[in-house]
Amino acid sequence: MKNKESVYIKEMSQLIKSLINFCKYELEIIKGEINIYCSTKNLTKILLFLKDNPSLSMECLTDITVVDYPEKASRFLVVYTLLSVSKNYRVKVKVKLADNESIPSVIDIFSVANWCEREIWDLFGISFNGHPDLRRILTDYDFQGHPLRKDFPLTGFTQVRYDNELSRVIVEPVKLDQEYRNFDNLSPWEGMGKYLPGDEKSDQRKND
């Protein structure tokens, strides 16, 4: 069954290569899925072609996600996962972005991208050119920073608490009641001997 699937994926990848010959891109098969790497300039062209071409029929955008590589020059990898319901296969279109670099919105191609792009802007700070309503969707409108970036502090910048004297919720800078401590605890599974603690009690009962 897997051999048939791999042959089918290879055939679809060859078909994509033969049809998309109007711009530069790279195509790889990773873990049984087709991956297309392209630039921001060619993103909308490729997505529109994958969706509208009847031989490909990638009519469904299932997800948009981002991977953060802060140590790389092209820090972000934006991944568009497409599904062909009629032909039963998936394609991932990937775009590499530098920090503070924007990317075109694809709402005109897939309307479902609206909230996905808002979520990415909220959590990663990536701007989508042409988005009609690019604002925060998961955090507060006055939230500082983008919490899914790997350089975002785990504690955040502010904390919320209820003030009894003011009778309202206030927002203030984070204050740690206890300094962070790094516990160097050994794993209970490392250095396990033949006998476990407490085995001696079992031996005593047998002797009794």
Region 162-191: mean pLDDT is 76
Amino acid at 191: G
d(CA 19, CA 22): 8
Mean pLDDT of 86-95: 94
Is 153 inside any structural domain? Answer: no
CATH code (residue 6):
3.30.460.80
The yes-or-no verdict on residue 1 having pLDDT over 60 is no
Asked whether residue 202 is domain-assigned, the answer is no
Answer whether residue 206 is part of any domain.
no
pLDDT of residue 49: 97
Tell me if residue 204 falls in helix, strand or coil: helix
pLDDT at site 191? 59
Pick the more confident residue, 153 or 191. Answer: 153
Q: What's the full length of the chain, in residues?
A: 208
Report how far apart the first and last C-alpha atoms of the chain are (Å, whole number).
61
Tally of structural domains, the chain:
1
Q: Is residue 42 part of a domain?
A: yes
Residue 208 lies in a domain: no
Domain that holds residue 137: 2-141
Q: Which has the closest alpha carbon to 78: 128, 33, 115?
A: 128
Confidence of residue 2 (pLDDT cuts 50, 70, 90): low
pLDDT interval class at 181 (50, 70, 90): low
Residue that the structure tokens 């991977």 belong to: 67
Strand partners, 27: 36
| 159 lies in some domain | no
Structure tokens given for 83: 């599904």
Residue 120 lies in a domain: yes
pLDDT above 70: residue 203:
no
Mean pLDDT on 26-50: 95
pTM: 0.79
- 140 pLDDT band, cuts 50/70/90, is confident
Mean pLDDT score, 112-121 = 97
- The confidence score (pLDDT) of residue 180 equals 64
* Percent with pLDDT over 70 in the chain: 84
Least Cα distance to 140 among 175, 97, 169 occurs for: 169
In a domain, 59, yes or no: yes
User: Greater confidence, 201 or 117?
Assistant: 117
Work out the mean pLDDT of the chain and round it to a whole number: 88
Distances (CA, A) of 61 to 23, 168, 198: 21, 43, 57
Q: Which helix (H) or strand (E) holds 68?
A: strand 60-68
Lowest mean pLDDT: which of 54-58, 133-137, 173-177?
173-177
pLDDT of residue 154: 84
Element of type H or E holding 77: strand 76-84
- In which band, very low, low, confident or very high, does the pLDDT at 102 lie, cut at 50, 70 and 90? very high
